[in-house]
Chain A
Amino acid sequence: MAHTTPAGPAVSAGPAPAGRSKRRAGTGRRWLEIAVFAGPALIVFVTFVIVPVILAAVYSFFNWNGLTPLERFIGFDNYIEAFNDPDFLQAIGNNFTIVIASILIQGPLAIAAALLLNRKLRGRAFIRAAIFVPYVLAEVIAGLSWNLLLSPNGFVNALLEMVGLEEWAQPWLANPDIALWVMFWILTWKYLGFAILIMLAGLQGVPEELHEAAAIDGAGWWKAQWYVTLPLLGPTIRIWVFLSIIGSLQLFDMVWVTTRGGPLNATNTMAVYMIVNGQTRPGYGSAIAVILFLISLTVALVYQRLAMRRDLGGAITRGVR
């Protein structure tokens, strides 16, 4: 689920629609229309997303092994336990490491790639398609492939030996000192395509005349991008950063299928920790889920306040003009 949600940090639905809705006759009929149109989505969403999440929140206050009835209410004990577990604190640390590394490394890479792919380039369609391949791949399949590639007797080590770098060969996913960075490499490989997709979409909104104007002024291509395109790409970048943060905080699938959080918790994330512990202690796992939600929400709100203030009520919610 991580990283796959192209959407805006929208606490605001934007300004009220201008127009004639207020003078339309019959508020009764208007409410009926609203109910008929929004009702089905709301019912499905509340039933299958909100209700389970509320239930998870309820479980989090119980000492519960998933088999017995919910009857041992323990208040905030699960929460206290979580913050006293060094493994969980390490998982939080790993999540934030990935958050920061993603922004600092994947962001610039994605912008550069999108700028390249947005210009006339022989074989552009092919290049674009190739770059999106990892993003479209199922996590299960990607994890299976990387496990094969990175195993001690796998392709990567064999390749290193072939080019005379055998001293670099090592069990990539088994070394706790580098596993997190190997994981980050896999994540970058997997999700860079999505970042490029977002950036490309943003670039469609940058008027071509601006490039031309810059070109006529004699500015170099990269210079033109830096001074002209990049500032206009601002809202897009800020949205990608938001999505990347949420995705990195909730990272689960790729880690689960590749390392299960190991070795020695080196690649553990909050969501993996939640699943591992929630298997035999759903009450405790639910407390982790709530913590994960609160951290995501806090980070999202802080980020919106700091970075996206000028986009609020506009940018992602106003739409193209």
Chain B
Amino acid sequence: MNRLTSRGLIAGLAASALALGLVGCSPAPAPAPTDSAAPTTAAPEQVTLRFWHNATAEPLKGIWDKASRDFEASHPGVTIESTGYQNEELQRTLIPQALQAGGDAAPDVFMVWPGGEVRAQAEAGYLKDLTAPAADTIAKFGGVAKPWEVDGKQYALPFTFGITGIWYNKDLFTQAGIASTPKTLTELADAVTKLKAIDVAPIAVGAKDKWPAGHWWYQFALNTCSVQTLQTAIPALNFDDPCWIEAGTKLQEWMATEPFQEGFLATSAQQGADSSAGMVANGKAAMEFMGAWNSGQIGSLTPDGKVPAFLGWFPFPSIPGTAGDPTITMGGGDGFGVYKDAPDVAVEFAQYLVSDEVQAAFAAAGSGIPANPAAASSLTDENLKAIAAGLAGSSYVQLWLDSALGPEFGNPLNDAIVNLMGGKGTPEDIVKALKDTAAKL
């Protein structure tokens, strides 16, 4: 059973099942020749590109749709089917299954996560090498494109990259008598106490979705581990350094201050008024530790669909008693990759999606931090400008650990973190989850 492809296996079994069709009464649809070259190359004037992203709500959905229409207009014969799917369904179910099926089933241009995620898809051979065709774009983007590089080859082009920080409600801070944004964890703890006194949830976290809780531990690990440890431990998947356990200990101490909303274990991150973003949007929670997209997310959850005026942003405070450097930040982003058998025009489209024009619209809409440096000036949102400045001032940006480590790590790692936050696990359990997963690869 060496190098058995699942597709071959299916074809065999399906054929034998169909062979059971004793007479002509079987529905017998002939197996499609999926291995043949994409038929689109035969007729270059009529091409349909399938474009999968995670924008289900405005304004981002409109930006991708408009970019698709504009590209169609400038490329006669090209039709683009732009579809937005729920983020986790897209990355964990739809894309892997479509890639595995291959052929026409696979999307031509689709969202690709950085780090270990893009590595897994690239190593399996599903992504087109964009190093040569998109050389100009890559050179222009510089370091921000690096997380989508695997073994020196570029496999996706980022459209957003930002650092994770704390989103907060300025009005509630004033009301609680918090004079300035917290610079240290101790000050953050003070703010939590003051916010509890005015009867709002100090910090919202969407622990039902697991990764938002995970980000808290990642941030603590960033502070307890040195850059050198991070840079060597992650590629080597070696978690022996005591700093990994210390991160959990610090998080445990932090949990003792009860900073999160009641019932945070069952709160989702983004859907509806009861989600963590929704709680910030409607003033029920004062803070949320979240990525750069949160401005747009919170905006979509307000009654008028606009980013509320009270929304502010500050970088995660430094943690006393750790080696961490405050200019070491955590972040990540999203990129667009191209399927290996997609027509060449798909590469053009992916490049268009990160072009100055589309990126400027992206920045102006306040959906996040554009990856294209030329679009940075189009940012109007004050918070996003602050994030861009924070990104620019970072001495080292660590990719979110679940992305950096790769798809197999997300579940066990984030599960162990949520367990610790829920009082059911220990700092050692988190490191054990990491080591166990690494051992299984």
Contacts and interface: CB of A to CB of B under 8 A. Distances in A.
B23 A35 contact: yes
A103 B173 CA distance: 52
A35 B13 CA distance: 20
A152 B274 contact: yes
A117 B9 CA distance: 52
A287 B27 CA distance: 31
Contacts of B10: 51, 55
Interface stretch (A41-49, A120-128, A134-142, A247-255): A41-49
Q: Give the interface centre of A39, A173, A176, A280 by most chain B CB atoms within 10 Å.
A: A280
A69 to B, nearest CB: 5
Contact of B267 (A73, A174, A176, A277): A174
B85 to A, nearest CB: 14
Contacts of B121: 67
Contact of B17 (A40, A46, A262, A264): A46
A66 B208 CA distance: 25
A67 B13 contact: no
A71 B4 contact: yes
A65 B410 CA distance: 13
B122 to A, nearest CB: 10
A54 interface: yes
Contacts of A281: 408
A311 interface: no
Interface centre among B13, B272, B284 (most CB of A within 10 A): B13
Contacts of B97: 66
Interface stretch (B225-233, B305-313, B415-423): B415-423
Which of A39, A148, A152, A277 has the most chain B CB atoms inside 10 A of its CB?
A: A152
Interface string A141-178: 00000011001111000000000000000110111100
B17 A65 contact: no
A46 B22 CA distance: 13
A71 B124 CA distance: 12
A69 B4 contact: yes
A81 interface: yes
Contacts of A179: 266
Interface string B398-441: 00000000011011000100110010100000000000000010
Interface in B4-56: 4-6, 9-10, 13-14, 17-18, 20-23, 25-27
A76 to B, nearest CB: 14
A264 B424 contact: yes
B128 to A, nearest CB: 15
Interface in B346-366: none
A64 to B, nearest CB: 8
Given A152-B274, A264-B418, A280 B20 contact: no
Contacts of B424: 176, 264
B263 A171 contact: yes
Contacts of B23: 32, 35-36, 39
Contacts of A87: 415
B328 interface: no
B118 to A, nearest CB: 11
Greatest chain B CB density within 10 A among A36, A50, A147, A148 is at A147
Contact of A174 (B4, B5, B22, B264): B264
B208 A67 contact: no
Contact of A47 (B14, B99, B267): B14
B180 interface: no
Given A43-B26, A67-B126, A262-B266, A55 B9 contact: yes
Contact of B13 (A54, A152, A277): A54
Contact of B266 (A42, A47, A171, A276): A171
Interface string B64-106: 0000000000000000000000000000110011011000000
A74 B208 CA distance: 33
A78 to B, nearest CB: 9
A13 interface: no
Contacts of B18: 43, 47
B407 A280 contact: yes
A7 interface: no
A17 B96 CA distance: 49
Interface in A165-206: 170-171, 173-176, 179
Contacts of B22: 35-36, 39
A51 B20 CA distance: 13
Question: Which one of B99, B100, B261 has the highest number of Cβ atoms from chain A below 10 Å of its Cβ?
Answer: B100
Contact of B93 (A54, A71, A264, A279): A279
Interface of A: 32, 35-36, 39-40, 42-44, 46-47, 50-51, 54-55, 58-59, 63, 65-71, 73, 81, 87, 147-148, 151-154, 170-171, 173-176, 179, 259-260, 262-265, 276-277, 279-281
Given A69-B3, A69-B5, 19 more contacts: A40-B27, A42-B20, A43-B20, A43-B27, A50-B17, A51-B17, A55-B10, A68-B124, A70-B4, A70-B5, A148-B272, A151-B274, A152-B262, A174-B267, A259-B266, A262-B266, A277-B411, A279-B411, A280-B408
Instruction: List 5 tightest A-B contacts by C-beta distance, closest first.
Output: A171-B263, A174-B263, A263-B265, A174-B266, A67-B124
